[in-house]
Amino acid sequence: MIKQCMSTQVYAVSADEPISRARNLMLKHDIGRLIVIGEENNPVGIVTKKDITKRLAQAEPTWRRRPIDNIPVSLVMTENLLNIHQEATVAQAAEIMLENEISGLPVIKKDNDDVKLVGIITKHDLIRHYSTKEYITKVKDVMDTYVVTVNIHHTIDHALYEMDENNVNVVVVLTEGNKPAGVISRDNLAFTELTDANGNVYGREVKMARRDAAAGVKKYRYIREMPLVAEDVMAPLDNTVTSNERVVDAAKIMSTTGTKSLIVIDDEIVGILRADNILNEIKKQT
């Protein structure tokens, strides 16, 4: 039952509060979503790390340069809040999340006509529950074999473009020799400082050489600020799995580390195991 693996602590933010407030709450409590409260103190939506990065990526450059202190949660939140009863099964929760492409559900309890919010169930909660089982399904049987990649020198905008174009939340960062160097996820970018207090986009300072005349000797050096690239924001590949490992063992890693995906490596990259792959397995259980 849902009530056996849900989180009873529910954190909330007001719709008119800035994104920075939502992000700080997520960081403080190590969570990935917040219930959004309206003017009458009732739930009106939910905001996640994915909502934040996806909305910022869709914005025009001038809009994106606005400090997140000036952007209200109402602009990035997801409305039409779905919920689930505490007596529902984990398989039912997994099915609702997969069908609606969401990562969490408020959990309610009904007493006659009275509806009470009693918790929240997330993909992480479902994966943690699955990790306690003894299923023998192998990673190779459920993983995705198509892995979206970017180069270490690609810009963050390009990484976000690849995520949107391929409908994924994670890209693998490759070196010039096509070796895996790290990963970039929407979660990483949601908590990465990309602008300063004035809304200016951070960059990296690169020393450039300039000739004093056409075809002359490079003798003048100057500093040019370049946009941040993939290697500036990527997370290290600290945890990977092989295709022959059990999914429940991979789920243990995901549950412990909080990651939503694991790169599958058998000498080389052969796939990626995502949270949704595990939810599809959970959906099959009765």
pLDDT one-digit tens code per residue, 151-171? 999 988 899 899 989 989 899
CATH of the domain spanning 139-190+231-274, picked from 3.90.1710.10, 1.10.10.10, 3.50.50.60, 3.10.580.10: 3.10.580.10
Starting at the edge strand that comes first in sequence, how are the strands of the sheet with 240-241 ordered? Answer: 240-241, 261-266, 268-274
Q: Please report the pLDDT score of residue 217 as a whole number.
A: 53
Rounded to the nearest 5°, which phi and psi values hold at 128?
-60, -40
pLDDT one-digit tens code per residue, 101-151? 888 898 988 877 777 888 899 999 999 999 999 999 999 999 999 999 999
Long-range pairs for 162-165: beta carbons < 8 A, 24 or more residues apart = 163/57, 164/54, 164/57
Asked whether the predicted pLDDT for residue 43 surpasses 60, the reply is yes
- 203-211 and 240-241 strand pairing: unpaired
- Is the separation of the CB atoms in 218 and 209 below 8 Å? yes
Spatial distance between the Cα atoms of 205 and 114, rounded to a whole number of angstroms: 59
Q: Which residue bears the tokens 């949660």? A: 73
Spatial distance between the Cα atoms of 277 and 261, rounded to a whole number of angstroms: 9
Q: What is the mean pLDDT of residues 26-40?
A: 86
CATH architecture of 2-130: Roll (3.10)
Domains 2-130 and 139-190+231-274 share a fold: yes
pLDDT one-digit tens code per residue, 222-239? 444 446 889 988 988 889
pLDDT one-digit tens code per residue, 172-228? 999 998 899 999 988 777 666 544 444 444 444 444 445 555 555 555 554 444 468
Domain segments of the chain as ranges: 2-130, 139-190+231-274
Spatial distance between the Cα atoms of 183 and 174, rounded to a whole number of angstroms: 9
- On the CB side of 102, CA atoms within 13 Å amount to 25
